[in-house]
């Protein structure tokens, strides 16, 4: 149970998660590593994303993420596990040490790269030849070889005008404007890079993703609460990468719960299923510690759908994680899978199989008190 809730966040007190160490060791011997980029002391490619670590906070490592493959590394839904890892391990991570509260000339350069919405031709030089250390964590997809950055040069980044306009807004306002113009991924990158907000500082990428999902979710909840209540119960479903989803929309005022059942999989090596959940009725005041970032990612997708429908409802997302999901790839898997389910034609709940003899309304009421 502790591992299912922790998911590598260090609740056990160990410096490194033994489950993630086993995964990393497995993939070091995998033929996927034949797809590693060829890199020596320097590398030329295109800047694709931006990463801020969390270990040692407020003293962290930051890095532009560079690749020479013509793939979108931030929008991966639809790819299989092997394809995703192949794409991600081709992301080179030239890193520097930084304090989240202090700016230097190099940090400002890397922030400028993070602000670009389009790929930027970038050349980097390292102090030592980069090495691979596949770090699988539950919130983030893996990254390829890393090394200490010695020098960086790049072409002019193409920064949307709106980024400069919202840069001095409060973080909440800036995130919403970028999300509405682009998406939550770009908003998370800018938030992590310390571009948004009046108190500008770097935010570890892992924290930024969940923070942005939460900020957007809170904004949408206010809108959804003003809509009419859903007329009839609906159920949506999908599956992706060993994750099965059933999403129930029930006629009532806004409420939400994520229930995750882990069968034998990366976080549950036993043969006994483990179930965890988090919920809200009027909104959460504390972090959803049982389901973590998955809670805010799935809630965002649900709220987007309700906003599109101009309805409010009680919603329960049931996620079942199976053995096929052999490595954690990030909470984007949950967000995009729920979006995928909600794009499909729903089933009327009266016409689908019930859980025992429980009525559709009582099904949710039992989960949300």
Mean pLDDT of 242-270: 94
pLDDT, mean of residues 323-351: 91
Confidence (pLDDT) at 284: 87
Give yes or no for residue 360 having a pLDDT over 90.
no
Give the burial class of 105: count Cβ atoms within 10 A of its Cβ; 0-12 exposed, 13-18 middle, 19 or more buried. exposed
How many Å apart are CA 59 and CA 96, to the nearest integer? 11
Whether the Cβ atoms of residue 44 and residue 69 lie closer than 8 Å to each other:
no
At 339 the pLDDT is 98
* Cβ atoms of residues 241 and 85 within 8 Å: no
Asked if residues 261 and 318 have their Cβ atoms less than 8 Å apart, the reply is yes
Give the residues across from 47 on adjacent strands: 66, 120
Q: How far apart are CA 278 and CA 36, in angstroms?
A: 39
pLDDT at 250 over 90: yes
Span 268-272, mean pLDDT?
A: 88
Which CATH topology does 228-367 take?
A: Ribosomal Protein S5; domain 2 (3.30.230)
pTM over 0.85: yes
Say yes or no to pLDDT of 9 above 80.
no
Confidence check: pLDDT of 111 > 80 = yes
**Considering only CA atoms, which of 92, 21, 91, 99 is closest in space to residue 61?**
99
**H helix runs in 167-292, sequence order:** 171-181, 184-192, 205-224
277 - beta bridge partners? 259
pLDDT at 353 over 50: no
Among candidate residues 50, 192, 186, the one with its CA nearest the CA of residue 178:
186
Contacts of 305 (CB under 8 A, 6+ apart): 339, 342
Q: Does residue 359 surpass a pLDDT of 50?
A: no
Numbered ranges of CATH 3.30.230 in the chain? 228-367
Rounded mean pLDDT of 96-104? 95
**Average pLDDT score over residue span 157-181:** 94
To the nearest whole percent, how much of the chain has pLDDT over 90?
A: 69
If you average pLDDT over residues 303-314, what whole number do you get?
Answer: 98
């Amino acid at each position: 149970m502790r591992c299912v809730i922790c998911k590598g966040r260090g609740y056990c007190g160990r410096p490194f998660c033994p489950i993630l160490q086993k995964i990393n060791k497995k993939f070091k011997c995998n033929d996927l590593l034949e797809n590693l980029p060829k890199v020596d002391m320097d590398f030329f490619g295109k800047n694709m994303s931006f990463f801020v670590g969390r270990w040692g906070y407020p003293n962290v490592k930051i890095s532009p993420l560079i690749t020479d493959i013509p793939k979108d590394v931030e929008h991966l839904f639809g790819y299989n596990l092997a394809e995703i890892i192949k794409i991600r391990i081709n992301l080179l991570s030239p890193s520097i040490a930084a304090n989240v509260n202090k700016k230097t000339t190099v940090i400002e350069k890397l922030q400028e790269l993070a602000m670009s919405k389009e790929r930027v031709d970038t050349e980097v030089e390292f102090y030592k030849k980069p090495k691979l250390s596949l770090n699988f964590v539950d919130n983030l997809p893996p990254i390829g070889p890393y090394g200490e950055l010695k020098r960086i040069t790049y072409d002019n980044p193409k920064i949307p005008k709106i980024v400069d306009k919202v840069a001095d807004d409060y973080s909440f306002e800036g995130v919403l404007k970028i999300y509405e113009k682009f998406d939550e991924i770009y908003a998370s990158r800018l938030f992590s890079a310390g571009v948004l907000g009046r108190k500008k500082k770097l935010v570890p990428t892992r924290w930024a993703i969940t923070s942005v999902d939460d900020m957007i979710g809170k904004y949408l909840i206010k809108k959804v609460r003003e809509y009419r209540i859903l007329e009839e119960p609906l159920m949506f479903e999908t599956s992706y990468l060993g994750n099965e989803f059933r999403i129930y929309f029930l006629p009532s005022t806004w409420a939400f719960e994520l229930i995750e059942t882990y069968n034998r999989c990366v976080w549950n090596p036993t043969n006994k299923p483990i179930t965890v959940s988090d919920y809200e009725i009027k909104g959460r005041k504390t972090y959803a510690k049982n389901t973590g970032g998955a809670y805010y990612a799935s809630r965002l997708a649900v709220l987007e759908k309700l906003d599109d429908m101009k309805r409010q409802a009680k919603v329960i997302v049931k996620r079942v994680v199976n053995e096929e999901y052999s490595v954690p790839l990030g909470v984007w898997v949950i967000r995009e899978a729920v979006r995928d389910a909600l794009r499909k034609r729903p089933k009327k709940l009266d016409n689908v199989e019930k859980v025992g003899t429980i009525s559709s309304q009582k099904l949710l009421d039992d989960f949300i008190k």
